[in-house]
Amino acid sequence: MRPLIPALAAFALISTGAAWVIAAPRLFEMTTPVPPEITTPPSVATPIGTLKFDDGFPSDDTVRLVYDNLDRQRAVEVFLDTLPGVSLVAMRRGLRQVGAVDGAIGIWQDLLDPRALLLTGNTESVYAVSWLDTRNGALVIESPPNVLGVIDDFWFRHVSDLGNTGPDKGQGGKFLLLPPDYDGAVPSGFFVLRSPTYNNFLIWRGFTVDGDPRPAVDNIKRHARIYSLTDVGSAPPSTFINLADRAFNTVPANDDSFFQELNEIIQAEPPQSFSAEILGMAASIGLARGKSFAPDTRLRRILSEAAAIGNATARVLAFAPRDAGAALYPDRQWRGAFLGNSYQWLQDGHRYLDARTGFFYAATVNTPAMVNATPGVGSQYAVATRDGSGRWLDGDHRYRLHIAADVPVRDFWSVVVYDPQSRSLLQTDQRFPSVNSLSPALAKNEDGSVDVYFGPQPPPDHQHNWIQTIPGKGWFPIFRLYGPLKPWFDRSWKLADIERLD
């Protein structure tokens, strides 16, 4: 077959044995000019290789290159778009390991410590967690008073708040969680919740009193219960499992086993529970409900490449966002944790995909309360991954964070340090890699300001203001304000950059 020159579509190329020459045009009755931009030349150089065509028909090598690239592209997009759901697959795996399922409630009675791998959890709240599965019917959740509670569906979308920001307004109450296919009568006396997925994640956050977790633990244990709707009036007391000092993993995979984890949620939930477009991309690489996921050698190689690219992309979005709106101040390294300020990741009518991926790569829990900008209510977050000179934070060096006096908080502030690999609490000799304003041992400067130090060794006379780091390992802090006040929101009070001291 003889290729056409795009600009001379009505002409033909004829071989003379030594070269190609243009033959006189043959004009057919229906011949019209063909715009060159709608044609394809015989050879096209691209980042995936040179693509060859015979009068528009792809060569066998081109077919192979294109399909490999198509599968790789789709697998990368699937990695980025389903990361929130796969994060909860890992959470379910961890909660199953410690038994916080089927009505049992896991609780960190002595606060969260670094032994458990949990995305950027804090060391000041009393966490209580459970996995909710409505496949066997509706569930009743009795929520305690004076907590911050959240139920998210299996794709990490918000279902409801419970407690202070929920419909019970912090008074406690009974919630009824219905499965997606529920068509029975809905009894009265409940806050009724409808989730598009059978599997759901429940977390409560209780508050310490002068740094003591026991009042919050007692409150949750006294009031929290989870049981089947059919057991109303006869349900046994809930089982509580102390998760303090327990080592288990709730962080999703970064390699090609990510796609095996994704397959768990695809098999568990009805297709209508998620985007048909994203599930279509997943199906194109072999992930479809009711079908065995068994990639061949070619596809396994491509999925491994896609996981590496997807992980690198998510890590860049989390640690080095390019959107200028991420910065809290134009002249400093601190940035907000919720780029776009939308728990649905919506901005100007579109889905802010990069912000969503970056958030769920490093964090967990999705609720409108986390983007609430009401002074005195909830909490606010600032993240830094670089020092004031723009260098990545490095465990080999010593640093200081100067916190100006009169931090604008109604309740308290804290600084918690994390491992950039696991995005979980940094595992050092310290039980809690953190400093907070509730600590009676915290040293203050004469003007009321506080200096927090980071490094492998404690600075002289500042052991109580020091967070240990590990030589050869990076680290990053989150500065939290509980009950943030107006000077935080209008930026009249500013957080100084982290200063390297050596």
- For residue 18, pLDDT over 70 is answered with no
Mean pLDDT, all residues of the chain: 93
Mean of the pLDDT values across residues 201-224? Answer: 96
Is the CB of residue 200 less than 8 Å from the CB of residue 151? yes
Per-residue model confidence (pLDDT) at position 5:
43
Alpha-carbon distance of 117 to 113, in angstroms, equals 9
Is the CB of residue 373 less than 8 Å from the CB of residue 338? no
Alpha-carbon distance of 301 to 295, in angstroms, equals 9
End-to-end CA distance of the chain: 70
Per-residue model confidence (pLDDT) at position 3:
44
Which of 87, 424, 472, 473 lies closest to 262 in space, CA to CA?
87
75 versus 338: which is more confidently predicted? 75
Per-residue model confidence (pLDDT) at position 369:
86
- For residue 292, pLDDT over 60 is answered with yes
List, in sequence order, the alpha helices (H) in 326-400. 353-362
What digits encode the pLDDT tens for the residues 395-446?
Answer: 999 999 999 999 999 999 999 999 999 999 999 999 999 999 999 999 999 9
What angle do the packed helices 276-284 and 60-98 form, to 10 degrees? 110
pLDDT band at 370 (very low <50, low <70, confident <90, very high): confident
- For residue 10, pLDDT over 60 is answered with no
What percent of the chain has pLDDT above 70? 95
DSSP 480: E
Number of helices and strands in the chain (H, E): 7, 26
Task: Compute CA distances 153 → 274, 357, 371, 382, whole Å.
Answer: 11, 17, 19, 26
- For residue 448, pLDDT over 70 is answered with yes
| Residue 374 CB neighbours (<10 A) | 9
What digits encode the pLDDT tens for the residues 244-281?
Answer: 999 999 999 999 999 999 999 999 999 999 999 999 99
- Helix (H) or strand (E) holding 297, with range, is helix 297-319
Alpha-carbon distance of 372 to 352, in angstroms, equals 18
- For residue 14, pLDDT over 70 is answered with no
**All domains of the chain, ordered by start, with CATH?**
6-53 (no CATH), 94-242 (2.60.40.1610), 257-316 (no CATH), 321-363+372-500 (2.60.120.600)
Three-state DSSP class for residue 170: coil
| Residue 52 CB neighbours (<10 A) | 17
Per the rule left: phi > 0, alpha: psi between -120 and 50, beta: everything else, 283 is: alpha
Considering only 2-6, 179-183, 389-393, 465-469, which range has the smallest mean pLDDT? 2-6
| Residue 391 CB neighbours (<10 A) | 13
Alpha-carbon distance of 112 to 121, in angstroms, equals 7
Q: What is the largest CA-CA distance in the chain?
A: 95
Per-residue model confidence (pLDDT) at position 2:
46
Which of 275, 240, 229 lies closest to 85 in space, CA to CA?
275
Which of 382, 412, 395 lies closest to 489 in space, CA to CA?
382
Is the CB of residue 226 less than 8 Å from the CB of residue 140? yes
What digits encode the pLDDT tens for the residues 293-334?
Answer: 999 999 999 999 999 999 999 999 999 999 998 999 999 999
DSSP helix, strand, coil percent of the chain (3-state; round to 5): 25, 25, 50
What digits encode the pLDDT tens for the residues 51-70?
Answer: 999 999 999 999 999 999 99
Pairing mode, strands 199-207 and 191-194? unpaired
Mean of the pLDDT values across residues 63-81? Answer: 98
Task: Compute CA distances 125 → 113, 128, 201, 219, whole Å.
Answer: 11, 10, 18, 13
- For residue 23, pLDDT over 60 is answered with no
Per-residue model confidence (pLDDT) at position 115:
97
DSSP 324: G
Three-state DSSP class for residue 25: coil
Mean of the pLDDT values across residues 34-42? Answer: 93
Is the CB of residue 207 less than 8 Å from the CB of residue 126? yes
What digits encode the pLDDT tens for the residues 132-152?
Answer: 999 999 999 999 999 999 999
List, in sequence order, the alpha helices (H) in 320-392. 353-362
Alpha-carbon distance of 429 to 374, in angstroms, equals 37
Mean of the pLDDT values across residues 95-123? Answer: 97
One-letter amino acid at 342 equals S
The two tokens of residue 497 are 């950059």
pLDDT band at 19 (very low <50, low <70, confident <90, very high): low
Is the CB of residue 366 less than 8 Å from the CB of residue 158? yes
